[in-house]
Chain A
Amino acid sequence: MTAMIKYLLLALTLLSLPARAEEVVLGLSHDEVAITATFDGSEILIFGAVKRETPIPQDAPLQVVVTVSGPLEPLMVRRKDRQWGIWVNTQSVLVDHAPSFYTVATSAPLSEVITDTQDLRHKISIRRAIRLVGAGVHDSQDFSEAVIRIREKDNLYSLRESTVAIDQDTLFRTALSMPSDLREGAYRTRIFLTRNGEVVSHYETSINVQKVGMERFLYNLSQQNPAIYGVLALIIAAISGWGASAIFRLIRDA
Chain B
Amino acid sequence: MMIYLPIAEVAVNAFVVLGLGGMVGILSGMFGVGGGFLLTPLLFFIGIPPAVAVATGANQIVASSVSGVLAHFRRRSVDIKMGIILQIGGIAGAIIGVLIFNYLKSLGQIDLFVTLCYVLFLGVVGGLMFIESISALRKSNRGATPARPSRAWLHALPFKTRFRTSALYISVLPPIGVGFFVGILTAIMGVGGGFIMVPAMIYLLGMPTKVVVGTSLFQIILVTGASTMLHAITNQTVDIILAILLLLGGVIGAQFGTRIGALLKAEQLRILLAALVLLVCGKLGLDLVIPPSEVFTLSAPE
The answer to whether A and B assemble together is yes
Measured CB to CB, the residues of A under 8 A from B are: 35-41, 73-82, 85-89, 92, 94, 142-143, 146-147, 149-151, 180-181, 183, 211, 214-216, 218-219, 222-223, 226-227, 229-234, 236-238, 240-245, 248
Report the Cα distance A243→B254, complex, angstroms: 13
* Shortest Cβ gap from B35 to chain A (Å): 14
Which residues does chain B contribute within 8 Å of A180, judged by CB atoms? 2, 4, 10-11
Measured CB to CB, the residues of B under 8 A from A are: 1-4, 6-7, 9-11, 59-60, 62-68, 70-71, 108-109, 111-112, 225, 228-229, 231-233, 236, 238, 240-241, 243-244, 247-248, 251-252, 254-255, 288-289, 291-292, 294-302
Verify A35–B240 contact, CB threshold 8 A: no
Among B6, B10, B241, B295, the one with the most A-chain Cβ atoms within 10 Å of its Cβ is: B6
Verify A75–B4 contact, CB threshold 8 A: no
* Shortest Cβ gap from A209 to chain B (Å): 11
Verify B243–A241 contact, CB threshold 8 A: no
Verify B295–A80 contact, CB threshold 8 A: yes
Verify A241–B301 contact, CB threshold 8 A: no
Verify A242–B4 contact, CB threshold 8 A: no
Which residues does chain A contribute within 8 Å of B111, judged by CB atoms? 89
* Shortest Cβ gap from A134 to chain B (Å): 13
Which residues does chain B contribute within 8 Å of A233, judged by CB atoms? 59, 228, 232, 238, 240, 243
* Shortest Cβ gap from A143 to chain B (Å): 7
Report the Cα distance A77→B296, complex, angstroms: 7
Among B59, B111, B296, B299, the one with the most A-chain Cβ atoms within 10 Å of its Cβ is: B296
The DSSP consensus for interface residues of chain B is: helix
Verify A38–B232 contact, CB threshold 8 A: no
Verify B66–A218 contact, CB threshold 8 A: no
Verify B243–A237 contact, CB threshold 8 A: yes
Q: Do A226 and B233 form a contact, CB below 8 Å, given A78-B108, A241-B65? A: yes
A-B contact pairs, 16 of them (CB 8 A): A38-B2, A75-B301, A82-B291, A86-B288, A143-B296, A218-B6, A227-B233, A230-B229, A230-B232, A233-B228, A234-B229, A241-B67, A242-B67, A244-B254, A244-B255, A245-B66
* Shortest Cβ gap from B286 to chain A (Å): 11
Which residues does chain A contribute within 8 Å of B292, judged by CB atoms? 80, 87
* Shortest Cβ gap from B298 to chain A (Å): 6
Verify B297–A77 contact, CB threshold 8 A: yes
Verify A39–B298 contact, CB threshold 8 A: no
Report the Cα distance A160→B6, complex, angstroms: 29
Verify A89–B232 contact, CB threshold 8 A: no
Verify A242–B66 contact, CB threshold 8 A: yes
Name the residue of chain B whose CB is nearest to the CB of A220. Answer: B6
Verify A181–B10 contact, CB threshold 8 A: yes
Verify A88–B63 contact, CB threshold 8 A: no
* Shortest Cβ gap from A131 to chain B (Å): 14
Verify B112–A35 contact, CB threshold 8 A: no
Name the residue of chain B whose CB is nearest to the CB of A76. Answer: B301
Which residues does chain B contribute within 8 Å of A241, judged by CB atoms? 62-68, 70, 247, 251
Verify B9–A89 contact, CB threshold 8 A: no
Verify B291–A87 contact, CB threshold 8 A: yes
Contact among A39, A41, A245 for B71, CB-based, below 8 A:
A245
Verify B112–A88 contact, CB threshold 8 A: yes
Among A36, A41, A215, the one with the most B-chain Cβ atoms within 10 Å of its Cβ is: A215
* Shortest Cβ gap from A232 to chain B (Å): 7
Contact among A75, A215, A234 for B6, CB-based, below 8 A:
A215
Name the residue of chain A whose CB is nearest to the CB of B236. Answer: A222
Report the Cα distance A229→B7, complex, angstroms: 12
* Shortest Cβ gap from B49 to chain A (Å): 11
Name the residue of chain A whose CB is nearest to the CB of B4. Answer: A39
Verify B62–A234 contact, CB threshold 8 A: yes
Which residues does chain A contribute within 8 Å of B240, judged by CB atoms? 218, 229, 232-233, 236
